[in-house]
Structure 1
Amino acid sequence: MKKILLLAVFTVFGFANVKAQEIKFGVKGGLNFSTITGDDTEGINYVTSYNIGVVSEIPLSEKFSFQPEALYSRQGYTFDDDIVALNYVNVPLMGKYYVTKGFSVEAGPQIGFLVSAKNDKTDVKDSFNTFDFGVNFGLGYKFENGLNFSARYNLGLTDINNIEDYSGKNKNGIFQVSVGYFFF
């Protein structure tokens, strides 16, 4: 985890030679359609919730940009009509390639920190790992006025379970649709 955070810091500071007036800051929010994948997932279904946060876009060239984000993300899954709500602070570090003016494909790693976990108002945070790592893939469109839209999938790569005597492995899987606005 320390190596990943160190890489993120060096990546951000490595872009220090970008002109400050070209960096854009904004907000975004949208819907999550999340579940878990892996072992013993029969009967597990998607839950619909939301994500909201701040975003920045750092142009590297005419076609490439780096887009770090900090998002509060409500995730989870349903099982036998019970909702397991997993609340994360996620930090996606997205690389964007503009295929045409405004339209981009994006990909990058995501670090997640579990804030809380509840099953029908019962605290179950101890049953889950507090750190999550995944990879995002998506598409986006940005208008010249700053309004933007995106759709992405987060493929969880780490086991989220922290349950004694359970050898199964489960990972987050989240499809997100978002709308955002760059202020400047």
Structure 2
Amino acid sequence: MKKLLLLVSIVTFGFSNSYAQDIKFGVKAGVNVATLTGDVDDLTTRFSLHIGGVAEIPITDKLSFQPELLYSSQGAEVDEGLGFGGVSFNSKYKLDYINLPLMGKYYVIENLGVEFGPMIGFLVSAKYDIDGDSGFDGESDSEDIKDQFKSIDFGLAAGASYELDFGLNFGLRYNLGLADINDIDGSDSKLHNGVLQVSVGYFF
């Protein structure tokens, strides 16, 4: 991770020598519609959030480099069913990442840009939560399952954003996980992150 952050810093510094007066810094936050795909059944989308910082570094009048550093809560929910005694079963996988998207942005028209680039994610926590009266004892329960998932994820991100003249901006993006994040011993099942993000941000 240190080497990756150093590389991003070098690239950012290189651009900044030519475009320092035009670099913009900002923040963004929004909703995640996340799920886990691959060799899995009975999983549905989980609504969660993301938040973090962003920089936009112009390369030409229409093309920019946009690195971001985001906290992103991901995972999936399990389809409701019946547990012992006919008790309603409601649970979810909660995977929290620090994500580093390295986006190229091309302005199709003024203020409207399309974005595409690689993304790397670092797993900071993973839990399996059983909600409310789903637990055997009638209470919520949470299990740490971080050792069942790989610590690094990578994939591709694509989307679009629109910025108003005073800095407020809106974005829509899909993060496609390419890495198999399953790390359960003896399991050959493939597991991938998939996250649709709707964001609101502001450039200072």
Matches within 5 A, 1:90-105: 90-105=99-114
Flag the structure with larger Rg.
2
**1:22 aligned partner:** 22
8 Å CA contact 1:161, 1:170 repeated in 2: yes
Q: 2:184 aligns with which of 152, 163, 173?
A: 163
1:8, distance to aligned residue in structure 2 (A): 3.8
The reply on whether 1:151 has 2:160 as its aligned counterpart is: no
Matches within 5 A, 1:77-96: 77-80=76-79, 81-96=90-105
- Whichever residue aligns with residue 111 of structure 1, its letter is I
Matches within 5 A, 1:35-46: 35-39=35-39, 41-46=40-45
Structure number with higher helix proportion: 2
1:60, distance to aligned residue in structure 2 (A): 0.8
Matches within 5 A, 1:1-184: 8-39=8-39, 41-80=40-79, 81-120=90-129, 121-183=142-204
Residues 116-156 of structure 1 show CA distances to partners (whole Å, capped at 9, x for unaligned) of 00111211100000100010010110111000000000000
Secondary structure at the aligned position of 2:76 is classed as: strand
C-alpha distance in structure 2 between counterparts of 1:2 and 1:135, whole Å: 21
Unaligned runs of 5+ in 1: none
- Whichever residue aligns with residue 176 of structure 1, its letter is Q
Identity of aligned residues (%): 55
1:78, distance to aligned residue in structure 2 (A): 1.2
TM-score by length of 1: 0.93
Unaligned runs of 5+ in 2: 80-89, 130-141
Q: How many residues of Structure 1 are paired with residues of Structure 2 in the alignment?
A: 182
1:2, distance to aligned residue in structure 2 (A): 8.4
Secondary structure at the aligned position of 2:17 is classed as: coil
C-alpha distance in structure 2 between counterparts of 1:7 and 1:159, whole Å: 25
1:24, distance to aligned residue in structure 2 (A): 0.5
